[in-house]
Amino acid sequence: MAFFDIPADEELSPEVRQRLEEYRRLLGLESLPRTWKVFGRCPKIIEARLTAFQNLHYQSRFPWEARNLAVMLIAHAKRCQGCFTGARSQLDKLGFDEATLDKICADPEALPLKERDRLFVHYALKIATGSADLHPKDFREMAEHGFSKEEIQEIIAFAAYWTLNMVFTQSVNAGLMEE
């Protein structure tokens, strides 16, 4: 038996139901991930996660395709199976095949994207996996590649969002595992 249980729809407040439905709709999912629904009895956490998702991931000036490739690679590096599967399913909808995605995971530098989008993915991955190792020269380099300061901050926030989300996903997945 798993430690956490998934609350039934009837147990959720109308506000929580509405917020979860909004998340499902934004991502075009058939059903809600268990790693979100498990928080159904904690409205503040649902609110926090959706606020972060909408502002730090969903609203963005970078293409959806590049964002999902970044998520796949961050999840791969941090071994977050839930986020990895979610990103792959979005990329599948965009027409990427499994073999291409496997190849990208094996060699993240070989992204089949325009240079600017490839660099977005490269920097997002770098920030999410090693923010303690960043140097001023990393930012100068990004600016030389044409990213504005606002865009660089957006990349930082995007990467930070995924470090938050992966803690949620990995932790609750451990508590949702059958013993």
Partner 1 sequence: MAFFELIPEDQMATEAKEYIGIAKKRARSDRVAHTYYVLARNPRLVKAWVQVLQELIPIPNRFGAAQGVAGMLIAHAKGCQTCFNTSRQLLLKLGFDLGALDNMCRFPEALPLGDRDRRFVEFTLRVARDPQGLKTDDFRDMERAGFTKDEILEMIGVAAYWNLATTLAMAVDAGLREE
Q: Of 7, 16, 52, which Cα lies nearest the Cα of 34?
A: 7
45 vs 113 by CB, closer to partner 1: 45
66 vs 74 by CB, closer to partner 1: 74
Q: DSSP readout, 61-110? A: SS-HHHHHHHHHHHHHHHT-HHHHHHHHHHHHHTT--HHHHHHHHH-GGG
CB 41 within 8 A of CB 7: yes
157 binds partner 1 (CB under 8 A): yes
Which residue shows structure tokens 């999912």? 29
CB 65 within 8 A of CB 93: no
149 binds partner 1 (CB under 8 A): yes
96 vs 158 by CB, closer to partner 1: 158
CB 139 within 8 A of CB 127: no
Q: Which residues between 54 and 113 bind partner 1 (CB under 8 A)?
A: 54-56, 59, 78-80
179 binds partner 1 (CB under 8 A): yes
Residues at the interface with partner 1 (CB under 8 A)? 2-5, 38-39, 41-42, 44-45, 47-48, 51-52, 54-56, 59, 78-80, 127-128, 131-132, 134-140, 143, 149-150, 152-154, 156-157, 159-161, 163-168, 170-172, 174-175, 177, 179
